[in-house]
Amino acid sequence: MGAQTQDVNLTQAGLDHWAAAQPNGKTNGHTNGHAAQPLQLLDASKLTFQYADSTAREVPTEAEANAGLETICTDHMITCKWKAASGWEKPEMVPYGPLSLMPTASVLHYATECFEGLKAYRGFDGKLRLFRPDMNAKRMLMSTLRISLPGFEPKELEKLILALVAQDGPKWLPRSRPGSFLYLRPAMIGTQPQLGVQAPKEALLFITASFMPRLDLPQGGMRLHTNPEDMVRAWVGGFGYAKVGANYGPSLLATQEAKERGFGQILWLYGPEGYCTEAGASNFFMVWRAKESEGGKLQLITAPLDDRLILDGVTRRSVVQIAKERLADEIEVVERKYTIDEVLEADKEGRIVEAFAAGTAFFVCPVSWIHHRGQDVHIPMGKGEMGQYTSKIKNWVGDIMYGNEQHEWGVVVDELQQ
């Protein structure tokens, strides 16, 4: 690696790989063996509409919406079926409701599933925005290909996401609630009703929009517990970098045990060296002062992408970029492997300044405590809820999301009239 900055663009690499495999760059990642009959591509312009009675449901408050055991979704969802023999059908906007799956459906047995998470933000300027949705759409393609689900043109997925927000945004994220968000969840599942370990020949893409609790300011900061030695999240040669279901279910047990001990998330370490990788399902950042022997500079450090252990987070990428642009005078941004022992040493030497988790769900969330096998690292949170660098970065990114700063990362949604 060597270099202290890094921009291995895994999502672009995945996309290039897929594109290169297409005859004429245009058959959706699968062929049907009949050269004469091209497979249908995912095509947002073919979207059909079956409207819900939008007067039937009232929009709850955030508190009401997040109080129960069920995610409250908006009036509509988008679905699109795929078959290996014919390609993508027309995408459909339909009333939100249950999916019907045969008990033999691939996804229910073999975890042929992947998803994305992004948010729609109601700006303080009244506009509705997405944050870098192109990155989610490209990453989704990489995830689908990793899990043997069908490929698609990321731009078409992005258009479908925008169509759903344009439809349900005005009602569910009203102008009267600036600073609010909806959570968007594109997902793809293998639906072929056939048992047997094989790539599914039928799949379903679906997109929902819903409420989600604000997770970015837990009382006293996020507390991390390192994973038990006999339970690791991801491994080199695995799929830790892809947003596939298989990364989540098996991690729940460790997280549940950590929660019973009063911690919020797992700090996932890797290998006998104990490399710090992710915090729960978020990327993990520390601000520390490098050792005097290494120059003693203030650094923002996070795990690298090149061993494909960690998720190539959109928030992570944005934090790295904005810190490089706006904190260059004060802080060095470092993407490299670093171990829990380095963290413990930095703590003993008083060099830890701040720490935070970064992701769509937790946004930029201050970390106050790391517990590792009997040792505790207490991390300064500044005078208030979080340290100054965490706060600056969070505000800069948040300002783009909520339209306080006009920036190319904030994509304005052309809302339909309510």
Contact residues for a copy of itself (CB under 8 A)? Answer: 69-71, 73, 77, 96, 98-104, 107-113, 115, 145-148, 183, 185, 187, 189-190, 192-199, 201-202, 206, 208, 210, 212-213, 229-232, 235-239, 244-253, 255-256, 280-281, 361
Q: Measured from the CB of residue 347, what is the shortest distance to a copy of itself in angstroms?
A: 25
Beta-sheet strands, E only, within 290-362:
298-302, 332-335, 352-359
Residue 227 burial (CB count, 10 A): 22
By three-state DSSP, how is residue 168 classified? helix
Name the residue nearer to a copy of itself (CB basis): 94 or 298: 94
Task: Show the tokens assigned to 242.
Answer: 């892809």
Q: Measured from the CB of residue 31, what is the shortest distance to a copy of itself in angstroms?
A: 12
- Determine the angle formed by the axes of helices 154-172 and 133-146, rounding to 10 degrees: 130
Name the residue nearer to a copy of itself (CB basis): 32 or 388: 32
Q: Measured from the CB of residue 387, what is the shortest distance to a copy of itself in angstroms?
A: 26
CA pseudo-torsion sign 34, 194, 148, 108: positive
Nearest Cα residue to 81 out of 91, 68, 72: 91
* DSSP 8-state class, residue 5: -
Q: Measured from the CB of residue 406, what is the shortest distance to a copy of itself in angstroms?
A: 30
Name the residue nearer to a copy of itself (CB basis): 148 or 339: 148
CA–CA gap between residue 111 and residue 121 (Å, rounded) = 31
CA pseudo-torsion sign 93, 96, 97, 100: positive
Q: Measured from the CB of residue 411, what is the shortest distance to a copy of itself in angstroms?
A: 22
Name the residue nearer to a copy of itself (CB basis): 207 or 353: 207
Name the residue nearer to a copy of itself (CB basis): 133 or 240: 240
288 within 8 A of 362, measured Cβ to Cβ: no
Name the residue nearer to a copy of itself (CB basis): 144 or 299: 144
Q: Measured from the CB of residue 316, what is the shortest distance to a copy of itself in angstroms?
A: 17
